[in-house]
Amino acid sequence: MTDEATALFIVSEEGYWAEECIEPLTTLTDAGVDITVATPSGSEPVVDERSTDPENVGEETAEYVKEVIESDDRLANPEPLATVDAEEYDAVVFPGGHGTAWDVNQDRHARQALLNAVAGDEGKALVVCHAVGILAFTREADGSFLVEGREVTGFPNEWEEGIVDDNDLMPDGRKLPYWVEDEVKAAGGEWDAELDADASVTVDGDLVTARGPESSTAAAEALLEELELGAVAE
């Protein structure tokens, strides 16, 4: 591990969930991690407006995430994902949000970044909420799924049922192409979203997964522990 740990955040341009990006971003920054933000095309990431609405997330959270989003130059000026080498970073972070289903999870460079992070001796990956869907589409060189046999958590079907309608249409009218839990299970993941727990974070080797917004801070802290920076964050 280098003296200054580094992390690459791969953020959706189709709608990331604010807390799932901002909490890890600020937690790692406060611990001294040097962070680079990338998006699939290099355009500024787009926040899901539901995740900055006080009626959905509360006044305090809404105010906080908006302030960071509006002031953080890293989010305002991301790198194009294809131009970034994930192997140069100690960790790769995939914030969640429904938007990942349409871009990050389907991006071959994002999948390769995940493979590179998990395959190395020191690299780590943190994957949050809907971004956990990328595990269902990421394969090893031999064709096997990266998630096969791994313990993971992520956005559960039970929660998805309360968001999409009977035709899988989102509140904004877009059709959700798949449900994260179904696809990750089909790819061989050992799924447990711990629905009875306030937060759900699972560490399996170099892979850290988190269930949703309320797990974001705990997930970032777990990643810091994996990077042997836990004491810095305390």
Over range 30-45, report the average pLDDT: 97
pLDDT attached to residue 1: 40
Residue position matching structure tokens 């909490």: 23
pLDDT tens, position by position, 83-137: 999 999 999 999 999 999 999 999 999 999 999 999 867 789 999 999 999 999 9
> Quick one: pLDDT band at residue 4, thresholds 50, 70, 90?
confident
pLDDT attached to residue 230: 62
pLDDT tens, position by position, 157-194: 999 999 999 999 999 999 999 999 999 999 999 999 99
Q: Is the pLDDT of residue 10 over 50?
A: yes
Can you spell out the DSSP letters for 119-177?
A: HSSS-EEEEEGGGGGGGGG-B-TTS-BTTTT-EE----HHHHTTTS-TT-B-TTSPBP-
Over range 141-165, report the average pLDDT: 96
Domains and CATH numbers, the chain: 6-227 (3.40.50.880)
Residue 8 CB burial class (10 angstroms; 0-12, 13-18, ≥19)? buried
pLDDT tens, position by position, 59-83: 999 999 999 999 999 999 999 999 9
Neighbours of 192 (CB within 10 A): 15
DSSP summary character for residue 47: B
pLDDT attached to residue 227: 92
d(CA 16, CA 7): 18
Residue position matching structure tokens 């917004």: 213
pLDDT attached to residue 2: 47
Asked if residue 98 lies in contact with residue 170, where contact means CB atoms within 8 angstroms, the answer is yes
Which phi-psi region, left, alpha or beta, contains residue 17 (left: φ > 0; alpha: ψ -120 to 50)? beta
pTM: 0.95
Pairing outcome for strands 207-210 and 201-204: antiparallel
pLDDT attached to residue 234: 38
Percentage, residues of the chain above pLDDT 70: 96
Question: What tokens appear for 231 in the block?
Answer: 């004491």
Please compute, for residue 230, the number of CA atoms within 13 A of its CA located in the half-sphere on the CB side. 8
Question: What tokens appear for 31 in the block?
Answer: 């611990």
Nearest residue to 48 via CA among 72, 28, 65, 71: 65
pLDDT tens, position by position, 215-229: 999 999 999 999 988
Any idea which of 17-31, 93-107, 115-129, 139-153 has the lowest mean pLDDT? 115-129
Average pLDDT, the chain: 95
Question: What tokens appear for 39 in the block?
Answer: 């998006």
